[in-house]
């Protein structure tokens, strides 16, 4: 008898892979009935990852969004699944265990059925609590393997991870082929091994279309025993995103699998509404190149969703690199030439940094290092002259074990800087914090919310949540939207809310933090707390630890990047400069207290 293949619509990831923002809750509620009416989906990816943080960034409560978005699918008997990053949960840096546990309780109460949990390093230790907490909350635990292609990422390697995940009690395994570079035959072998050894485990495949392998990969994993395939819909399918359900469904049907019927009228309605949302405002943040596939991604292995930010980075660095090239008598590089150079540099850097799978946030670390190497080489400086602190944290093992060995020159460089390598469980470095955030909510007079969901948001995304509560986030988003519309020549219809934002001059900051030491911009230029991010809320929050002499940020000058380094070890108590703003030489950008 023919076996059924089931489909999951990754509506959340469609948007995240295309641009910066996701639909508003009123838009999600409008499109949900049409998705249900398509009749071909057993699952919908509804939240998690950057989805909820993005809600905060444009001033929307993510808890309301998740509850309203999941409700129509539950009513129709369609399962919903979220994406979370293991040790990092819903953000880009580690999360205390008590906050991670609360997350699963909250998301289950809000209507999320399945927790898809991944570790960008495939360190099973970072997924152990995710599996345990998901099941304790009554969710289905789906542990994900971060798929890439390298000499160390073999079927045997992945099966070693699977063995641990099954031991921890996971219900399902997802092959998260986030860059779409997994080779079809290898993926088929991996699924076959999982099904042979653990026949009770459900397997779901998630593959991006950027380099073009994913339709073949879907056929291979289906033949090997996979149960679910992640698909998308137009106008966001294909390109750097995911295969379209129409093509994959017909391909499976032609191969003899049972598939559910697809209501084309409903498909066209989902397509129409999605385009309407793009035209409304979301399209301003979607890079046109994301609609194109490119074989250039095969070699470097970078996720297609990074192409937009990567090209923006290259444009920002181009003037500095060209100036150095000209000063050193070298031919000046075009943007296309720099792109090829960057891809090649990623291929050079990646194995030397231990082959971390190129998924958030490790794809950013590898790309940033490659970008800084290009700048250094143009200035006749050695590679790895500049490595940011987050990348050093990965190198040192603070976030988990790297899949492969570090190159000797990286180990030697770490020793020269007096850095230590870590082997302990990464979670042990992050003590519980919920009592601290409960006290914060009492002091602010805020309610913890239904099922403690507001407490969770504060603990997970403190800075963004505070900006949401104060109205600053909506004001900032509306200003950004107005700027885009003005540049496009469209009429400006957005009304800025009047928001009282507390401001302090330098004297006031000095009075508030008498023991703090000022951190100053070394040169005139653009403030970059993170090199590859255009989000103004990415500056370090109060309490962030910094080390004397280690870069806590950068200033992009006309000739290149300059590090911002604190004079003492301590914690950030105040940040005065936003990401992307212009700063003067000597301007105070933050205060640090020992």
Kindly tell me if the per-residue pLDDT of 381 is higher than 80: yes
> Which of 44-53, 480-489, 518-527, 556-565 has the highest average model confidence (pLDDT)?
44-53
At 517 the three-state DSSP class reads strand
Calculate helix-pair angle for 453-460, 434-444, nearest 10 degrees. Answer: 110
Q: Are residues 112 and 187 in the same domain?
A: yes
- Comparing 17-26, 188-197, 348-357, 399-408, which segment has the lowest mean pLDDT? 17-26
Kindly tell me if the per-residue pLDDT of 504 is higher than 50: no
pLDDT at 495: 36
Q: Are residues 337 and 271 in the same domain?
A: no
Q: Are residues 86 and 147 in the same domain?
A: yes
pLDDT at 558: 55
Cis amide leading into 79 (omega within 30): no
- Comparing 136-150, 208-222, 508-522, which segment has the lowest mean pLDDT? 508-522
Q: Are residues 207 and 58 in the same domain?
A: yes
Last residue of a domain, one of 262, 287, 312: 287
Query: What confidence tens digit (pLDDT) does each residue in 248-283 have?
Result: 999 999 999 999 999 999 999 999 999 999 999 999
Q: Are residues 276 and 319 in the same domain?
A: no
Q: Are residues 56 and 149 in the same domain?
A: yes
Last residue of a domain, one of 259, 287, 315: 287
Last residue of a domain, one of 244, 265, 287: 287
What tokens appear for 258 in the block? 């049972």
- Comparing 41-45, 261-265, 319-323, 424-428, which segment has the lowest mean pLDDT? 319-323
At 117 the three-state DSSP class reads strand
Residue with tokens 């720099």: 338
How is residue 285 annotated by DSSP?
A: G
CB 393 within 8 A of CB 429: no
Q: How far apart, in Å, are the Cα atoms of 473 and each of 53, 465, 479?
A: 11, 9, 10
Kindly tell me if the per-residue pLDDT of 500 is higher than 60: no
Q: Are residues 186 and 243 in the same domain?
A: yes
Please provide the size of the chain in residues.
594
Query: What confidence tens digit (pLDDT) does each residue in 435-478 have?
Result: 999 999 999 999 999 999 999 999 999 989 999 999 999 999 99
pLDDT at 511: 63
pLDDT at 496: 32
Query: What confidence tens digit (pLDDT) does each residue in 92-124 have?
Result: 889 999 999 999 999 999 999 999 999 999 999
Q: Let me know if residue 468 belongs to a domain.
A: no
Q: Let me know if residue 537 belongs to a domain.
A: yes
Question: Which residues face 175 on adjacent strands?
Answer: 145, 205
Confidence of residue 536 (pLDDT cuts 50, 70, 90): low
Q: Let me know if residue 492 belongs to a domain.
A: no
CATH number at residue 49: 3.20.20.70
CATH number at residue 545: 2.40.50.100
Which of the two residues, 590 and 270, has the higher pLDDT score? 270
User: In terms of pTM, does the model score above 0.85?
Assistant: no
* C-alpha span between 564 and 519 (Å, rounded): 8
Kindly tell me if the per-residue pLDDT of 346 is higher than 50: yes
Q: Let me know if residue 157 belongs to a domain.
A: yes
Q: Let me know if residue 461 belongs to a domain.
A: no
Q: Are residues 212 and 120 in the same domain?
A: yes
Q: Are residues 307 and 276 in the same domain?
A: no
pLDDT at 405: 96
pLDDT at 506: 55
CB crowding 557-568: b at 16 or more within 10 Å, else e: bebbbbebbbee
Q: Are residues 280 and 362 in the same domain?
A: no
Calculate helix-pair angle for 453-460, 462-470, nearest 10 degrees. Answer: 120
Q: Euclidean distance between the first and final Cα of the chain, in Å?
A: 69
Q: Let me know if residue 485 belongs to a domain.
A: no
Kindly tell me if the per-residue pLDDT of 532 is higher than 80: no
Domain count, the chain: 3
Residue with tokens 């969703």: 305
Q: How far apart, in Å, are the Cα atoms of 70 and each of 31, 489, 507?
A: 12, 37, 49
Q: Are residues 305 and 243 in the same domain?
A: no
Q: Let me know if residue 451 belongs to a domain.
A: no
Mean pLDDT, rounded, of the chain: 89
Section 19-24 average pLDDT: 90
Confidence of residue 491 (pLDDT cuts 50, 70, 90): very low
Provide φ and ψ at 312, rounded to 5°: -65, -40
Q: Are residues 374 and 414 in the same domain?
A: yes
CA atoms within 13 A on the CB side of 318: 15
User: 126 is in which domain, residue-wise?
Assistant: 6-287
Q: Let me know if residue 491 belongs to a domain.
A: no
């Amino acid at each position: 008898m023919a076996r059924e293949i089931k489909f999951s619509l990754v509506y959340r990831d469609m948007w995240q892979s295309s641009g910066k923002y996701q639909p508003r809750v009123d838009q999600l509620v409008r499109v949900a009935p049409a998705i249900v009416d398509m009749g071909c989906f057993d699952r919908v990816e509804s939240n998690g990852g950057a989805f909820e943080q993005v809600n905060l960034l444009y001033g929307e409560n993510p808890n309301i969004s998740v509850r309203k978005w999941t409700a129509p699918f539950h009513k129709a008997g369609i399962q919903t699944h979220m994406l979370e990053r293991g040790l990092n949960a819903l953000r880009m840096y580690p999360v205390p265990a008590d906050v991670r546990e609360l997350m699963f309780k909250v998301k289950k109460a809000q209507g999320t059925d399945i927790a898809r949990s991944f570790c960008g390093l495939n360190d099973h230790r970072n997924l152990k609590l995710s599996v345990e907490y998901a099941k304790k909350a009554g969710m289905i635990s789906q542990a994900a393997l971060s798929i890439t292609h390298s000499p160390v990422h073999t079927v045997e390697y992945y099966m070693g991870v699977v063995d641990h995940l099954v031991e921890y009690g996971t219900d399902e395994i997802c092959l998260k082929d986030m860059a779409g570079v997994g080779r079809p035959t290898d993926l088929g072998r991996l699924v076959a091994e999982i099904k042979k050894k653990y026949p009770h485990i459900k397997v779901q495949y998630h593959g991006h279309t950027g380099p073009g392998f994913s339709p073949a990969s879907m056929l291979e994993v289906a033949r090997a025993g996979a149960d679910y395939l992640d698909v998308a819909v137009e106008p966001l399918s294909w390109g750097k995103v995911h295969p379209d359900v129409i093509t994959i469904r017909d391909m499976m049907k032609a191969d003899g699998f049972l598939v559910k019927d697809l209501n084309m009228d409903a498909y066209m309605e989902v397509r129409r509404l999605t385009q309407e949302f793009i035209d409304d405002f979301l399209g301003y943040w979607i890079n046109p190149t994301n609609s194109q596939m490119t074989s250039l991604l095969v070699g470097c292995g970078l996720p297609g969703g990074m192409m937009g930010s990567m090209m923006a980075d290259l444009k920002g660095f181009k003037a500095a690199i060209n100036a150095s090239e000209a000063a050193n008598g070298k031919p000046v590089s075009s943007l296309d030439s720099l792109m090829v150079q960057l891809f090649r540099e990623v291929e050079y850097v990646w194995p030397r940094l231990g082959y971390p799978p190129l998924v958030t946030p490790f794809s950013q670390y590898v790309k940033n290092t490659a970008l800084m190497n290009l700048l250094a080489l143009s200035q006749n400086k050695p590679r790895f002259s500049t490595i940011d602190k987050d990348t050093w944290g990965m190198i040192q093992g603070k976030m988990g074990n790297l899949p492969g060995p570090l190159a000797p020159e990286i180990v030697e460089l770490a020793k020269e800087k007096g850095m230590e390598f870590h082997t302990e469980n990464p979670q042990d470095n992050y003590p519980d914090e919920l009592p601290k955030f409960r006290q914060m909510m009492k002091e602010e007079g805020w309610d913890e919310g239904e099922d403690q969901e507001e407490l969770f948001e504060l603990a997970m995304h403190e800075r963004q949540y505070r900006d949401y509560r104060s109205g600053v986030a909506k004001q900032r988003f509306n200003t950004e939207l107005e700027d885009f519309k003005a540049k496009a020549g469209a009429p400006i219809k957005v009304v800025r809310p009047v928001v009282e934002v507390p401001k302090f001059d330098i004297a006031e900051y000095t009075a508030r933090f008498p023991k703090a030491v000022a951190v100053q911009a070394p040169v005139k230029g653009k403030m970059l707390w993170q090199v590859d991010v255009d989000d103004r809320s990415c500056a370090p929050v109060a309490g962030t630890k910094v080390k004397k002499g280690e870069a806590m940020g950068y200033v992009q000058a006309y000739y290149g990047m300059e590090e911002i380094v604190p004079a003492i070890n301590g914690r950030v108590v105040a940040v005065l400069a936003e990401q992307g703003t212009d700063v003067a030489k000597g301007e105070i950008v933050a205060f640090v207290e020992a």
